[in-house]
Amino acid sequence: MITLHHLEYSQSFRILWLLEELGAEYELKLYNRDPETRLAPDEYKAISPLGTAPVITEGEFTLAESNAIIDYILDSHHESDMRPGPGHPDRARNLFWFHAAQGSLMSVQFIEIALTSIEMNVPFFLKGLFRSVFNRVRSLLIKPRLKRLFDLMEKDLGQKPWFAGDALGTSDITLSYPMLAAHNLGLFEGTYPNIVAWIEHIQARPAWKAAREKDGRDSVIFTFD
């Protein structure tokens, strides 16, 4: 049986949601962050190959990285249609968004998080200089890339209700975390109604609600560990 080692306020929520969608049998172990550093505790880092979330174990086997875990779990659930196969009309669409979530969206969001963290921790007399440089990076790199991504998402969701196409798929699972983070920052309101509708749809699903109940937290917060 798979054990999901679930770190609070982390990307492993996506795996918890997936397992609930599949109706899979699994064991859930919950871990709290260090109250001072807000990082994963040592006992969690000892399990994960990279010291990051998510991570699953199955006997002596250990696997990290969200998309790798999603594929691994679905290998044991052949009855699921969440991963459109060769010849399926939605296969290319699902593959694109499944990998764009980690390769394009989260990488850009990580840059923003890194810039903000540095900006907050530099000496006061340097804040103005750093802010000026970082805002230039935001205007030239981060904001344009996010806009292109969100515009394409809005277009695709206007054609079919899910990133995976006509039905919920792996791309919706992996995109849920960074998209909730962007939504919590108010990046979609008034501009991207199809994206907002998609967020409402995933939050209304029984499996999402069940995962939230087992997670036991009042919100899903975007982190990189």
Q: Where are the domains of the chain?
A: 2-80, 91-205
Tens digits of per-residue pLDDT, 32-71? 888 887 788 889 989 988 888 999 999 999 999 999 999 9
Tens digits of per-residue pLDDT, 85-114? 999 999 999 999 999 999 999 999 988 888
With a CB cutoff of 8 Å and minimum separation 6, the contacts of 106 are 178, 224
Q: Is the CATH code 3.40.50.980 the one for domain 91-205?
A: no
Kindly state the average pLDDT of the residues 207-211. 96
Model-level pTM greater than 0.85? Answer: yes
> Dihedral angle at the C-alpha atoms of 132, 138, 140, 143, nearest 10 degrees?
-150
Question: Residue 221 has what pLDDT?
Answer: 54
**Coil/strand/helix, residue 197:** helix
Q: How many CB atoms lie within 10 A of CB 84?
A: 21
Sheet containing strand 2-7, edge to edge, reads 26-31, 2-7, 55-58, 61-64
CATH of domain 2-80: 3.40.30.10
